[in-house]
């Protein structure tokens, strides 16, 4: 059995800090769509800052993220469909 302890605090993508492995696990288990999108954005920015993408790759990722955000925003603004009701005849 491995008894080494892991670093229980840190930062993801030089942007998102966590206090312990347990708090990170709790965050990951309850992540919202907004947090997920934010994490994707900061991870892409972080990766780009480290030179992991070419300019063309950066551009396509940027456009893809904008498209996803646009689609998600349109879902937020669409009316909620009414539930089917049963009529008594």
Q: Over 90: is that where the pLDDT of 87 sits?
A: no
Range 33-52 average pLDDT:
88
CA distances from 19 to 40, 47, 63, 73 (A): 21, 23, 33, 32
Instruction: Kindly state whether residue 52 falls inside one of the protein's structural domains.
Output: yes
- Containing structural domain, residue 49: 32-78
Domain count for the chain, please give it.
1
Instruction: Kindly state whether residue 83 falls inside one of the protein's structural domains.
Output: no
Instruction: Kindly state whether residue 66 falls inside one of the protein's structural domains.
Output: yes
Instruction: Kindly state whether residue 85 falls inside one of the protein's structural domains.
Output: no
Instruction: Kindly state whether residue 7 falls inside one of the protein's structural domains.
Output: no
Q: Over 70: is that where the pLDDT of 70 sits?
A: yes
End-to-end Cα distance, the chain: 69
Question: If pLDDT is split at 50, 70 and 90, which confidence band does 56 have?
Answer: very high
Instruction: Kindly state whether residue 39 falls inside one of the protein's structural domains.
Output: yes
Q: Over 50: is that where the pLDDT of 1 sits?
A: no
pTM exceeding 0.75: no
Q: Over 70: is that where the pLDDT of 61 sits?
A: yes
């Amino acid at each position: 059995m491995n008894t080494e302890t892991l670093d229980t605090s840190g930062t993801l993508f030089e942007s998102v800090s966590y206090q312990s492995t347990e708090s990170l696990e709790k965050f990951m288990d309850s992540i919202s769509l907004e947090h997920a999108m934010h994490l994707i954005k900061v991870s892409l920015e972080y990766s780009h800052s480290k030179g992991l993408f070419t300019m063309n790759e950066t551009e396509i990722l940027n456009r893809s993220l904008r498209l996803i955000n646009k689609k998600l925003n349109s879902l937020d603004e669409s009316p909620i469909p009414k539930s089917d009701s049963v009529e008594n005849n």
